[in-house]
Amino acid sequence: MTQPVAPSAAQSATQPVPAPAPPGDGPPPGRGHPGHPQPVRLYGPHVADDPAELYRTLRERYGPVVPILLDGDVPAWFVLGYREVNHVTSNPRLFARDCRRWNAWDLIPGDWPLMPYVGWTPSVMFAEGPEHQRRAGAIGDALDEVSRAELVTVCRAEADKLIDEFAGAGEADLVAQYSHRIPLLVVARLFGLPGADIPVLVQDVAESLDVGDKAIAAHQRIHARMQRLVQDRKHLPRSDVPSRLIHHPAGLSDDEVVIDLLVVMAAAQQPTGNWIGNALRLMLSDDSFSVTFQGNRRSVGEALSEVLWEDTPTQNFIGRWAVHDCRLGDQRVRRGDLLVLGLAAANADPQAQPESYSDAAANRAHMSFGKGEHGCPFPAPELAELLARTAVEALLDRLPDVRLAVPVDDLEWRPSVWMRGLFTLPVVFSPTLDLADAPAPTDEEP
């Protein structure tokens, strides 16, 4: 949830990131941190093993703002207090989005692994002030015209197609075969892409999430496909998101429409896919949900809400840059310093953590969609929730006895400090017949 990474490098979002040196071991070797003598390395192979414990430990030692070193010992501040994250995201004049303000560019090599998160692009992601309002407003208006009933219908149809592919096997990986595929399929339909283009797009997006030459080529193909789509809709508008952006009164250029469509696609793909996967994991492993599979759909809403509080797909986000010298928490932040937003850590702040998730519909105070002008724009959170809820409900309807194929403790989280999602979610169930393949009824007596 919240904003995606820059569309030119979404491949970095799922790659392993490094782990912090244990707090209290003194400053790590290397450049160090100009604002604190004892920074923590927020990278390494074990940093995502137990994020809740990591955030608790850092909060106890440093308070709500932590001096950190990112990959390559690049200094930054990790904002993990709920009040502090809210303050940063609600004050764009103090903490801005344009990465060109960064005072550490001289430390950053061109091949820095996190460059996709900080490399400037002329997208809505890095726009500020009136320019951001123009771009984000157009996106919000284009999405708001999506019929909620149509979205549910499209999502259910795509869910049924995916389930049909494995329903007869009696087993499946709900990450690779379901949760990570359905958001892109739905977005492709809302974009009005031809049916023949969608399988190729799905493959290109999958390759763009890898590292290497295939990722670069795949992204180039995705970009070219969006360019063709924009040109087609300029001459033959339809009732779809690209057409609404092209003909919006904000007057977006073709290049602006293309790159912002890529931002929307990135925001819908991985965060929503992990939201669905994490909710299914919760419902299949927590006994308090299993008793309500049959008919009580309120439990799906509770699961989705609990995931946003406990295992939110976007754990941390780069970021904001300080416009002036200031104090944040107990730390002195310099002009141009990078701030990493600890969305999951803010959700886990004892001052904000809800006592229960039973009132899921009302409790939306989490930071999982971000806050402020660069938070997920209306109505994107609503549409994402409709998509996720429909996807979970469709699977439970079609496979009512679905269950985990392995102990829940054997499920592996991807080792990322940025995203929270599983490698796989293996399940078993009673094989069912695709209705399209069922034999036609006859009038003969048996």
pLDDT for the residue numbered 74 = 95
Tokens in use for 60?
Answer: 């106890």
45-90 tens-digit pLDDT: 777 778 889 999 999 999 999 999 999 999 999 999 999 999 999 9
d(CA 39, CA 333): 14
406-417 tens-digit pLDDT: 999 999 998 888
Q: Could you tell me which residues come within 8 angstroms of residue 71 by beta carbon, excluding any fewer than 6 positions away?
A: 17, 18, 43, 112, 113, 114
pLDDT for the residue numbered 337 = 98
Please say if the pLDDT value at position 217 is more than 90. no
- pLDDT cut 70: percent of the chain above it: 85
User: Per-residue confidence at 3, pLDDT binned at 50, 70, 90?
Assistant: very low
d(CA 417, CA 238): 40
Q: Does residue 319 have a cis bond before it (omega within 30 degrees)?
A: yes
Reported as half-sphere exposure (CB side, CA atoms, 13 A), residue 104 has a value of 26
Reported as half-sphere exposure (CB side, CA atoms, 13 A), residue 59 has a value of 21
- pLDDT cut 90: percent of the chain above it: 65
Tokens in use for 264?
Answer: 């929307």
pLDDT for the residue numbered 357 = 57
Burial track 330-358 (b if 16+ CB lie within 10 A, e otherwise): ebebeebbbbbbbbbbbbbbeebebeebe
Tokens in use for 285?
Answer: 């492993």
Tokens in use for 444?
Answer: 């003969």
pLDDT for the residue numbered 32 = 83
175-212 tens-digit pLDDT: 999 999 999 999 999 999 988 888 888 888 877 766 55
Mapped onto helix, strand or coil, the DSSP state of residue 67 is strand
Please state the pTM of the whole predicted model.
0.87
> Closest by alpha carbon to 410, among 427, 396, 395?
427
8 Å CB contact between 109 and 73: no
pLDDT for the residue numbered 212 = 58
* Higher local confidence (pLDDT), 72 or 321: 321
Mapped onto helix, strand or coil, the DSSP state of residue 52 is helix
List 314's β-bridge partners, or say none: 419
Q: Give the dihedral sign, CA 86/91/97/100.
A: negative
d(CA 127, CA 197): 31
* Alpha-helical segments (H) within 115-253: 115-118, 129-144, 148-166, 182-190, 198-208, 213-235, 241-246
